């Protein structure tokens, strides 16, 4: 068992990760409709990764003899101005998740819950990588024209992304 306040916060993050997965699926759909199937693939993989993150929280709650509780998902943003808008929204979403993870770490630290601190270490590292990934893609995108040769090359590269694990 865990302190109730921590259980609730971990459960919220379980649901936040599901919401992130939901949101990335909407971004994939935006690119699918445009015919940029590589970008769509990139976002579908991203969505599945977020689902894996959610299940890490699920498993941790179960391990600690707590019950994961599903909350309603919010309607994600379904329309975007362009590819850059999707990428900027992705980075903003990841920054929000980083803040959520930091708040969880602070709470676990206050409560001296060392197993939870150890569990959350993986997520601190993951968020650093996620933010860097989107920053790097945005930096590349800033120099290329949507629909142009380099953009289509990126689309081809993104078609190759597979789920890691």
53 binds Fe ion per the rule CB under 5 A: yes
130 binds Fe ion per the rule CB under 5 A: yes
Nearer to Fe ion, 53 or 155 (CB): 53
Nearer to Fe ion, 37 or 51 (CB): 51
Nearer to Fe ion, 83 or 97 (CB): 97
94 annotated as a binding-site residue:
yes
53 annotated as a binding-site residue:
yes
Residue of closest CB approach to Fe ion? 53
Nearer to Fe ion, 108 or 151 (CB): 108
104 binds Fe ion per the rule CB under 5 A: no
| Closest distance to Fe ion from the beta carbon of 112 (Å) | 25
Give dist(CA 130, CA 59) in Å, integer. 22
What is the per-residue DSSP string for 26-50?
HHHHHHHHHT-HHHHHHHHHHHHHH
Size of interface with Fe ion, in residues (CB under 5 A): 4
What is the per-residue DSSP string for the chain?
---HHHHHHHHHHHHHHHHHHHHHHHHHHHHHHHT-HHHHHHHHHHHHHHHHHHHHHHHHHHHTT------PPPPPP---SSHHHHHHHHHHHHHHHHHHHHHHHHHHHHTT-HHHHHHHHHHHHHHHHHHHHHHHHHHHHTTS-TTSHHHHHHHHHHHT-----
Site string for Fe ion, 55-94 (x = CB under 5 A): ----------------------------------------
Site string for Fe ion, 9-28 (x = CB under 5 A): --------x-----------
Contacting positions for Fe ion (CB under 5 A) = 17, 50, 53, 130
């Amino acid at each position: 068992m865990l302190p109730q306040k921590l259980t609730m916060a971990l459960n919220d993050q379980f649901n936040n990760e599901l919401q992130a997965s939901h949101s990335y699926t909407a971004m994939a759909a935006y690119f699918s409709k445009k015919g940029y199937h590589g970008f769509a693939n990139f976002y579908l993989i991203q969505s599945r990764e977020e689902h894996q993150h959610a299940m890490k929280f699920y498993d941790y709650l179960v391990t600690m003899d707590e019950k994961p509780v599903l909350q309603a998902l919010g309607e994600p943003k379904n329309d975007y101005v362009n590819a850059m808008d999707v990428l900027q929204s992705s980075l903003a979403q990841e920054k929000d998740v980083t803040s959520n993870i930091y708040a969880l770490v602070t709470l676990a630290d206050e409560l001296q819950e060392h197993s939870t601190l150890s569990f959350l270490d993986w997520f601190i590292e993951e968020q650093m990588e996620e933010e860097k990934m989107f920053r790097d893609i945005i930096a590349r995108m800033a120099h290329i024209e949507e629909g142009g040769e380099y953009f289509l090359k990126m689309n081809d590269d993104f078609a190759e992304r597979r789920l890691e694990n």
